[in-house]
Amino acid sequence: MHWAELLFELTVMPLVAFLVGLFMVLMMRKIGARLQRRVGPPLMQPLYDIVKLYGKRTQTSHGLLHEIGIVMAVGGYVAAETLLPVPGMNGIAEKGGMITLLYLTMIPSLGMALGVGQCANPNGSIGISRALTAMLAYDIPFVIVIAGVAMHFGTTNLVDVITQQQAGGFETWGISQMPLLALAGLFALQGMLGKQPFEIYVAPAEIATGPMVEMGGKFLGGLFVMQCFQLYTASVLYVTLFLGGGENWITFLAKAFAVLVIPISVAFLFPRYRTEDMITMLWKWPVVLGLLGLVFVGS
Amino acid sequence: MSNSDQFPVEIEQPHHKGNGSGNIFSRVFDELTAFCRSRSMFILHYCTGCGAIELPPAMTSRFDMERLGVSPMVSPRQADILLITGYVSVKTLKRVLLTYEQMGSPKYVIGICSCTVNGGMYWQSYATAKKLNDYMPVDLYIAGCMPRPEAVITGLRELMEKIRKGEANGWQDYYRRYDYYLGHQQRLFGETWQTPTNVVGEARHYGLLGDETQGVHTELLKRHQKPLEALEMRLSPADKAEMEL
């Protein structure tokens, strides 16, 4: 591949991800509003929020790590987008693969931990300890799912995974080949997005939005941008692993948005679990489902 | 609804709008930011009184503030609007001021209910601050005892319009006339009153030092101000005694 073409893809892929992510945030807020019989925010609301936050006159920084933490949180996802193949663009997906992607999706949590640590706010510290605990909880089923998918397709290369799934239509999709793993993946997705009932680390009424408590202005704006990337990464990863990626942009976006409807709808219907309940739940049901799925994949 | 008709409060208008009156790009950018500010308002509601009960209907399915871009936030760092919903006792006012000074500029204050306007039914109370705009700049009052959710929404729309036009500059007034506000605060809390925020320093940082930023009251503050120190990390005396044994 020519280097200019590669550079173009590496630039465009995160930008597209951000744009799609904005609409995903809008969809999330709209679904929440409709479930509560409200009208919900206007079309451009996520963008207004981000521009407003970056346009604040006061930017209260708590030090260098506070700023680096936000850069890591956004940067981890920006790097992850270049490893996620989209229709027509593969970026560096062929060189990365699932395992690199798995590592990269952890960087934002670690970056936030660094940044929040310097804020020295007790609510923030509680929030970040819960966020890392949550990561421990959902990563076990997530790793099982990734391992199962890699075993089934015989590769960790996401481009190959998509090609194999698209070879025979719905019959060869991950979801029809490995339904148990797909179900376990949905559980992990819910934990990964940090949505109710696993919304333990934001918890506005309990620990004042946890990691976000000391964030104002551009710092909160950075986290809003991160949320766009987070929704995009999680749903596109699921689409890539189980729904055959995208043949073209229309089916790709339709699948990505459809996948996201499930965790979001669940989120607005459930209250919040306690931390230990979340771990118990995520280490029990999705792990059992995932291990059963592994047995079927192996046999 | 606007406070300028009823009370002789002079809120100083900025001498120049934005920072790039000549450059067309910076003017476009300023207008875009002002528009986004008006369409995205995060409120921190300091629910001090009965007006708080009017907010749930304004937020939920009947009136739905989110369609105007108004959403509740939980910490002063994240919020744009401080919503004070009812009477403010002297003790509460200290907390309100601490919260207000920690919010990021540009910030706006809305006083809901008659009690914030003139003390309302607590006029004769010895423990209630009567006029909120003596202690902090209030951008908008929503009068009524209590105002209905329709009035709250109308008030928010009016504030949106003011923000979009760049007229909601109460936060600049706090820096320009800090001495005036501090004077009222000292009258109520005693002359040893101080907050952790260096307001004069912030005014200098934003270039908003006015003639009334410093005066007799800030002099008094300087005389009584104790430097802020980080809390010492130590075990409680009982634990310490136990460890020494």
User: Mean pLDDT for chain A?
Assistant: 88
Span A55-82, mean pLDDT?
88
Could you read off the pLDDT of A15-50 as tens digits, one per residue? Answer: 999 999 999 999 999 999 999 899 889 999 999 999
CA dist A233 and A220 (Å) reads 20
- List domains and CATH numbers for chain B: 24-169 (3.40.50.12280)
Number of helices (H) and strands (E), helices first, in chain B? 10, 7
CA dist A56 and B244 (Å) reads 51
Please tell me the pTM assigned to this model.
Answer: 0.86
Using a CB–CB cutoff of 8 Å, tell me whether B80 touches chain A.
Answer: yes
Could you read off the pLDDT of A92-128 as tens digits, one per residue? Answer: 877 888 888 888 888 988 888 888 888 878 888 888 8
Span B11-30, mean pLDDT?
63
Run of H or E including A229: helix A218-242
Name the residue in chain B with its Cα closest to that of A34: B61
Q: Kindly determine whether residue B77 and residue A216, on different chains, have CB atoms separated by under 8 Å.
A: yes
Say what the ipTM of the complex is. Answer: 0.80
**CB-CB neighbors (< 8 A) of A204 in chain B:** 74
Write down the pLDDT at residue A233: 92
Write down the pLDDT at residue A25: 93
Span A275-285, mean pLDDT?
89
Name the residue in chain B with its Cα closest to that of A39: B67
Chain B nearest CA to A218, separation (Å): 10
Chain B nearest CA to A64, separation (Å): 18
Percent of chain A at pLDDT exceeding 90: 29
Write down the pLDDT at residue B245: 59
- Give chain A's domain count: 1
* Residues of A engaging B, defined by a Cβ cutoff of 8 Å: 29, 33, 36-42, 44-45, 47-49, 51-52, 55-60, 204-205, 208-209, 212-217, 220
Interface test with A, best of B38, B41, B74, B197 (most A CBs within 10 A): B74
Residue B173 pLDDT greater than 50, yes or no? yes
Give the structural domain span for A71. Answer: 3-298
Which residues make Cβ contacts (< 8 Å) with residue A131, sequence separation at least 6? A109, A112, A113, A194, A201, A210, A211
Q: At residue B163, what is the residue type?
A: I
